[in-house]
Amino acid sequence: MTKADDSTLNADDLRAVEERARKLLDRADAWGTLPTPIEDILASAQIQVAPTSLFDPAHILAYIRSKGGDFAHRIKSAVSKVFGLYDAGERVIHIDDTVVESKQNFLKLHETGHHELPTHRKLFRLFQECEKTLAPEIADQFEREANNFARFALFQGDAYARRAADCVLEIKTPMKLAGKFGASIYASAREFARTHHRACVVYVLEPIRHVRGNGAQAVVRRIEASPTFLRRFGRPADTLITPDHFLGPVLPIGRKMTRPVTLSITDLDGTDHECVAEAFDTKHNVIILLYPVHALTTTTIILPSGHKQRCTN
C-alpha cells in the first residue's frame, strides 16, 4: 500500500523547523563536514543515545512500565515495529541498532528534532516512531516536523541539492551522494527528486514479488517529484507497477540494476515526451528514476537503451 505523506508542512511551519535545525548545525559547526557529523550534532543538542538497545518486546514493555503514572496516556499509540524512542525527561534517545547505520543516522536526527522543537519536548515525555501508527492529528504534525528537521540536518540545508545539480542526472548519483552524506539510498533518492532543479521523479517501490498468473509486480511505496516535474506533468498517482505498466520494463527482475530504458509520458497539456528511466534494487526497496529528455537538452532527443546522457550547465 502506498504510504501516506510524511513530510508536507505549510511554509511557516517548515521555516520554523528548518531554522531550529540550522541553529543546531551552527552550534555543532557541522556545515561542510561529510558525512554529516551525527555525533557532533547530538552532542551540541545535549542529548545521548542509550548505550544498550531496548528494542525487543520485553525490554520495551519493561521500559514503559518503569515510567509509571499516566505514561501510557501521554505517548502516541503505536503498533508494528518501533525504530526509535525519545525520552524528554532523561534527554536520551533509543535507536534500534539492528537497522543499518545509514537509517540509524536519520532516526537519531528525527529524535533530536523532537528534542530541539520546544512544543514537542513540552507536550510529550516520550515519542515512538513506527511503521504504522494510530495517532491524533497533532502527533502526525509532529512526525512531519521531525522528519523535516532530520532532512535539513542530514542533507545540510541545500548542500545536497547543490552537489546533485553538478552531477550526472542518473540513478547512480543519489546512490553516491547517500554515502557522502551518511544517508540511506532511500532517503537520498527522495531528497534528490524533491530538490532537483530539473524535471525528474523517483518511484520508491516495495520489493518485487511474483503473483501467479500476473507475473512480477511491485507496490508503490512513495513517489517524489521535482517542482519542475510537478508543474509539467502533475503528481503521479500510480499504486502498482506490473508488466503492463509503462514502467514495467524498468523493473530490475533478477538483477540489481536496470540500464536506462527509453519510454514516453504525456504532460498536462497532452504533449508526449521521450523520457529515460532506470532502476536499482536496494533489497529493501526498488528505486526508479525517470526524467524527460528535454530536461537535459534544449531539444528532445530519443535515446537508445543504454545510452548515458550528461547534464548540461
The confidence score (pLDDT) of residue 133 equals 42
Single pTM value for the model: 0.83
Which one of 2-6, 27-31, 270-274 scores highest in mean pLDDT?
A: 27-31
> 209: helix, coil or strand?
strand
47 and 134 assigned to the same domain: yes
H helices of the chain, where? 11-28, 38-44, 57-67, 101-116, 118-123, 137-154, 159-165, 172-181, 185-195, 227-233
Residue 44 cell numbers, joined: 551540541
For residues 236 and 170, give the distance between their C-alpha atoms in angstroms, rounded to a whole number: 20
Neighbours of 258 (CB within 10 A): 21
Residue 306 cell numbers, joined: 543504454
* The domain boundary residue, chosen from 154, 180, 207: 154
Domain that holds residue 266: 198-295
Residue 189 within a domain: no
47 and 132 assigned to the same domain: yes
Residue 231 within a domain: yes
For the chain, the first-to-last Cα distance in angstroms comes to 39
The residues, any chain, with a CB within 8 Å of residue 297's CB and separated by 6 or more, are 309, 312
The confidence score (pLDDT) of residue 165 equals 97
Residue 309 cell numbers, joined: 546522457
131 and 234 assigned to the same domain: no
Residue 61 cell numbers, joined: 514493555
- Taking only the tens place, the pLDDT of each residue in 73-103 is 444 433 334 567 777 778 888 888 888 999 9
Residue 179 within a domain: no
Q: Are 72 and 64 in contact, with CB atoms under 8 Å apart?
A: yes
Q: Count of domains in the chain?
A: 2
